[in-house]
Chains A and B, each alone.
Chain A
């Protein structure tokens, strides 16, 4: 069922890209009807409509599905994020629908808390909260955290302006958390993930890594869409993966492969 949602959104994205001739830096689509609860879909639209990174939207029918296209620009946030010496990966968002589908997986795998690391505008934490999981959003760029706070009026996904590698995770009283790492392994994600893994001492923690099979990036000798070495070095097991659209794969044939992993000594009971 969740895989099917992923396939649908990828099909919509591919069809959308074929006909898109706009000039915006980033674009994403949210269908007006989709096999998820109507309230959830409304909230996803509201998150995009209120989000200042989007400056335009219009409706378009794609493959017989009425959708809203959101056009945005993150250049100013990018400029701000690269001025943080400790920023490991510049802000580039996943699609809101992708965040929702990945959070659905996290819930199905039995996790109670989602921690969105390098959260950008906090969309994954927002989606997890929408799915009634406890969620936290950790972002080093305080400008982005201010943006997140403007989006928490309906659902408080608890944004923190902090360095995720030195954050005190014990203060969150996590029981069965899953950490979504922001950024490809090759784009600073691996350094960020290593730092967070070291800071989290919870054998029941799950991990979600955004991977790529694109030839543009260096291959990891252990595979895992760029995460194989980190997964092996940290004694994790890959449990699931799903391909979903992101801002940085709009013109790519391959989507972003979200790799779900858990500790080899994980005890879900």
Chain B
């Protein structure tokens, strides 16, 4: 099972790009957390050498590719997007009913980006406590 989940994660990491949408971001973090938890649990048992080797290899991939590269890029992009849309949406100009209702969709996107950033920051907090 660890092999399968680890391969799934490897696929997600290989195809990760800076402009991933919210669903893709959540999916990759979920898989990282899932595989990391399995690794911690399996290391506490008497795992076979080849499994142990795969665990260490996967942890290295998470650390070197995801934590050091992909995660900071996602975090930075979310922050930039949030700052830009907050500034755009703070305009004081008079708006028509149609403009207000169209802006409401952008506010909804902003809320989603903010809660995703919160989730991403939570991952970072967990990392710093490890």
A interface vs B, CB < 8 Å? Answer: 23-25, 55-56, 71, 73, 75-76, 78-79
Contact = CB atoms under 8 A, between A and B. Distances in A.
Given A78-B107, A79-B107, A55 B89 contact: no
Interface in B91-108: 95, 97, 100-101, 103-104, 107
B86 interface: yes
Interface of B: 86, 89-90, 95, 97, 100-101, 103-104, 107, 110
A24 B99 CA distance: 11
A179 to B, nearest CB: 29
A79 B85 CA distance: 11
A73 B100 contact: yes
Contact of A79 (B90, B95, B100): B90
A24 B95 CA distance: 13
Nearest to B85: A79
Contacts of B86: 79
B100 A55 contact: yes
Contacts of B97: 55-56, 71
A76 B89 contact: yes
Contacts, number: 28
Nearest to B86: A79
27 contacts: A23-B101, A23-B104, A24-B100, A24-B101, A24-B104, A25-B104, A25-B107, A55-B95, A55-B97, A55-B100, A56-B97, A71-B97, A73-B100, A73-B101, A73-B103, A73-B104, A75-B89, A75-B103, A75-B104, A75-B107, A76-B89, A76-B90, A78-B107, A79-B86, A79-B89, A79-B90, A79-B107
> Taking chain A's interface residues, is the majority helix, strand, or loop, or is none over half, making it mixed?
mixed
Given A73-B101, A75-B89, A78-B107, 10 more contacts: A23-B101, A23-B104, A55-B95, A55-B97, A71-B97, A73-B100, A75-B107, A76-B90, A79-B89, A79-B107
A78 B97 CA distance: 18
- Which among B89, B107, B110 has the highest number of chain A CB atoms within 10 Å? B107
A76 B90 CA distance: 7
A23 B99 CA distance: 11
B10 to A, nearest CB: 36
Nearest to B103: A75
Nearest to B98: A23
Nearest to A75: B107
Contacts of A78: 107
Nearest to B104: A25
Contacts of B110: 79
A23 B105 CA distance: 10
A79 B100 CA distance: 14
Q: Which 3 A-B pairs have the closest CB atoms?
A: A75-B107, A23-B101, A73-B100
A67 B91 CA distance: 33
Contacts of A24: 100-101, 104
A71 B89 CA distance: 19
A74 to B, nearest CB: 10
Contacts of B107: 25, 75, 78-79
A169 B41 CA distance: 54
A120 to B, nearest CB: 17
Contacts of A71: 97
Nearest to A78: B107
- Which among B86, B90, B95, B100 has the highest number of chain A CB atoms within 10 Å? B100
Contacts of B100: 24, 55, 73
A23 B86 CA distance: 21
Contacts of B104: 23-25, 73, 75
Contacts of A75: 89, 103-104, 107
